[in-house]
Structure formats: C-alpha cells, structure tokens
Chain A
C-alpha cells in the first residue's frame, strides 16, 4: 500500500462489482426474463392477481386477517357455504339439524380427501372445532361452541353455551376452515405457512412479500376449477398495480387507483369490476364527547352523501340511504332509514341547540378505505356551513384504530366488513354495550340486539328487528351517520373471463378462464 492512490478507484470499483454479483447470486436473482411459455389452453391457464398486501397467516383460526380470507377460502372449505344471497348451503357438511336452542347436529360429507391423502370424517371436524374455539380469531366467531361430540363417525353435535342463530354464518367464515387432522398433529406450528386443506386449490409455494402460488386440487371432490394455477402477488402501491395490469405482468388487480377509473373504462384491454360488498363505511360519534343529539343530528343533516359518492368516490360505492346495513344483506324497511340532507334544517337545529360554533376532531386513516382523506375534506367543508369546524386528524392505520378503541376522539371514520354475512354480527360487535369495538360507547339497543341471537336467520321477524335497531341508532339517537356501502373494486385484463367476487369479499374462481 505504498502508492495508495495509484489505482484504487478502479480496484475498488472492481471489488464492488464482484461483491454485487455475489450478492445477486445470494438472493436468487437470475438473468432470465419473465417465464413465457408456449400458448396454453384456456382451461389450463394461470391467473395472476395483484393484491394490495401479502398474506399474514394461513392457519385459519390463528391470526388470519381479512386480507388472508381470500387465500384461505381457495384452499380450505368449511362445513357451511353461503350462496350469493347469503343463505347457508351445504359445504363439508351435507345437512344439519337444530335439535334445540343450543344444540346442532351436522352430517359430514362422504368421499372428501385432504390434499395430504387423509379422509375427512367427524373426528377431524371435532379436532378442528375444538382447536378453533381456543384460537384467537377462531374464538371470535366460534367461541359460543361449548363442546363438540361425535355421533357415530359421520356426525358431530355442537353444544352451544347460549342460543346463537347465526352459528351457520359463522361456520362459513374462512376462519372456520377445516384443516387436515394429520397436519395439525404433525406440523401444527408450521400451518401458517403450509396449509393442508381440501379446497379447490392446493398450496404450492409462498415467498413472503413476493408471490404465492396455488394449484388446482386434482383430487377435489366438487367441480374442479378450470384454472390450473393461481399466482397471487402483493403490489402495495396502487399506481404500480395498475401499471402491472396494463403491461400484462398480472391479469387481475384489486383496488386500482380510483382516480384512474375513467382511464380503465376507456381502455379496451382492461375492464373494471365493481361488485357489492358487505361493508358500510360511516362517520361515528363518541357519545360522551358529543352528548347533544341535536348537534349530532344537525351534522347528519349537513352531510350530502349522494354528492360525495358521485363526485369524490366517482361512483365506486353507493350512498348509504337505507340504513347502515347494505340493502344486499337485509330486506330494506319500507321507509328508508336515513337522515336526509337538509342544510337549512341543519342550521336551524344548530341554532336551537344553542351550541354556537363547535369544533370537533375527526380521526381517520389516510387511505384505508376509498379516498378517506378526500371524503373527509368534503365533509369538513359541508360542516363548515353550519358552524361546525371539523378538525381532521389523519393517522396511520394502527394509530387510528387504537384511538377509536380508546374512545379518544369526538368523531371517527370507520368501515365494518361483515365477513360472516350476518349483519347481526356487526350490530353485536359495534353497537352492543361492553363490546370492545363499540367505538361510540352506545348502549341504547342492547335488549333488541341480544334478541337477534334467538331469532332464526333470514326470517322477516329478524330482519324487521334489525331495521328497528338501525332506525334507533341512526335516526333517533344519531350514533353514526352511514356514508356509503363499499364495493369490491377490481380491474381485469380483457383476456380474463368469469372473474367475480362475493359479498364477503372472497373470489369466485369456479368459471374463470384466461385466453392467452
């Protein structure tokens, strides 16, 4: 090192280059381009889907989040399925019978094999349900099950701790997916990364944050899907997702940037897919902090939700004018459950309340639902008209959700997905006193909400009770202002046919083909 300056720039550049090529090899980069095979028949095609986030856990009752439900649903079946109208239909159970308020018997389907070759039977179902009721997510949906008894090897009897009419709905949630008992016994710790189910697709590989590959389950007992392979790639940035769709790197994406909707509509290569979803988005009040119902009502009257949906959401979603529960989930009441837009009335009511100028915090996430920030800006300007200053507090999603749980805000912005398809579930979790997610601290409809669990689902009596409850907390007590019903929002390439979503935001891939 006598002449350090002589050649060091060149030498260190060479060393760096060498280091890079080593690292490249170390992390699996190859010089090959994207895999382009020979043309494949539409039936054996691969569907590549770009999602906003990656999966977290693929073990149904353990820490699976709603973002995981789509993946779980493709690989795991449940005892019960929901038809497009939300009616329970046979899944892995062929039939069921309610013996009493707290006792149900399910008959298990014959001839179902898990992808590891083991058979489904009553014992497997018992092992699964007993595991689920102790697991963090499983307990939330199935905790009402006190015990599971075998009745022969084809039937199980579920004993509930209290009457619970939406049991069938909750058994249809991906969290209640039935896992191979052999896999539970031998490999429970790794189930979150190595799913073993009986669904139409089987797990092939998963590189976190990069790609998950599923393949058609050739031994599937039901109608086999036409697709051979499904690749799910997480692409967090919406603009990149759309670009990847335009370039043909993926065939389907969820949540394209809503601002690009007109571009998608004009394009011949890309189609938009907007389908109903079981998720209302609403503005809520923390009742202790905004105690005057007149002020709350004036605020509800001052918000023009029709204009917001039309101009800000550009039609992705529909204004919530028949209550908090989307009309696709409950038969709407004869009189719409709504506080109509009436600016003059709102001003009068504010004067009557004698509240003067009011300043209220509104806590919201930046972009968790659709264009939250933009919607909130419009609400803010509409409230200004009646002398209410909405102080927008845009928080990162984890902070926002915790602020709500801790009742730290006067007004909040929240959407609630009803994964189990029974709106009573939302009413119990968000409007029943004592519920952790009762962000408003409401307790005015406890008796009625409790009664829902006793009435059989999908009966006129139960639906009209749900409408009465909604009318109470929306029109009478003004606990929340329902804003809009969200939609599943996807964009697909024109080569993709038959891609649909369900109200519970799952995919229906049964008829999907990809022409290449």
Chain B
C-alpha cells in the first residue's frame, strides 16, 4: 500500500481554485518532492494531507487514513514541519523536545533526536537564543521526536545560508536511511534534485509533470551544443545530440580545425522547471 495516494484532489478558496485536480502516489520510504512557484497549490495540497484543510473533491489516503476524519493513530504516525512556526521562546531545546515527546505513545529518546538534528551543543539553550537555521532544526527535531512513519516538510530550508542548507540536506537524507516516507515542498530546484526520489511539478493547481529528477531532465528538453566559430558563439539545440555532434566534429576534423570552447549541456531540472512553469506566459 502506498504511504500517500491522491486522486482528483480539488480545493477552492472562494473564487480562487488553489488545487484543480491533482493525482499522485508516494510509496513507503520514498522521498517525494512537490515543486512549484508560490501560489501553485503546494501548501494547500500538503495541508489537506496533514489534516488542516478539508478538500472540496477527490480521494485522499494518508497511511490508510482519510486525513479529514483520521483514526486515533493518524497523528501518532505523522511528523510536521510547518513553513513558519515559533515555539515557546523561554523553554530550552531539550524541554521543547520533551514537551512534544510527551504527546506520543512511543517517542524516540529526546537526546538522540537532539543529536540527530545537530543541536547537541544547544541542548540547554533557550529557544529565543537560537539562530534561524537552528530554529528550523528544532522544528525538524520536534517533528521526529514522535518517531513518525511519514514526515511533511514544507519549504524546510527557505531563508537558510548555503552552509545551513547543506546541513539540512544531510538531515533529510538521514530520514531516508531511517526508512521514513518524506513529502517535501520546495521552490528550490537543486533541493528537489538533491533530495527527492521523485518530483511532481505543480503549476496553477495542477501537476504538469511527475518523475525522477533524471527522467524529467532527460525527456523534456533539447540538448544544447555550444562552440565558437570565426569568433562568433554558436548555439545548436537538438533532440539528436549524437548525430549533430558527429556531423560537427567530422566537418571540423575534415577541415583541420578545432571546435573552440565546445560544450554539450544537458538541461538541468531548473531549465525543465522554468519551461514547464512559464509555458502559460506566452
């Protein structure tokens, strides 16, 4: 049974249709990325799965529960990192973890979790003294302290400096090795590419593409070949890079010339993403 399955999900706020028929499945132990620009419907989708919002239409199953009327163990089994939340500023890191641990029937050891999220040195520091990145680690820690099977991460690294992002990525990878299923939303493409087994690209409330990062980048766009000829930059876009390259190099060799600055570039997920999310702009 998949950890999450969503069919024909729809949700409107007044006249605004935030989600307009979304389908996807997430397997157990999979890290799934929901990618899209602001307003694409990512957070609405995730909040429906977390049980915060009722859907207008469609079928949703999360760990075998309908999150709209969840059974008693649903919240025992999920961990949530909200896009923004602040905890009690005057409790310490350890007290905050212990507070949340007390809500669960089978919590993990508080000190283990604090070590896992890299806050060991801040164990007895008050929450208000933590940096932004440390606060996000605390959010992750309290999401893990109940030992959930499924973790929701809503834009977990927004506002991080590069070092903090790398550290957060390491932690999210460690969730995979713990066997957790992870649903991650992000508008950073490199983040999805680095972390997610599969990615769904959301645009205006619809999924425009689902696949592994590799599938998305290999099937979608033409390969770019660049070189210099007679001091001019030349760019060739092709879906048959082997044939075009062969012709180019054969020609150059026959004429005894070098293809200066020859470069073959496969599209990055960013290129794919931009082309998918900007299509309607034309």
Q: Does chain A bind chain B?
A: no
Interface residues of A (CB under 8 A from B): none
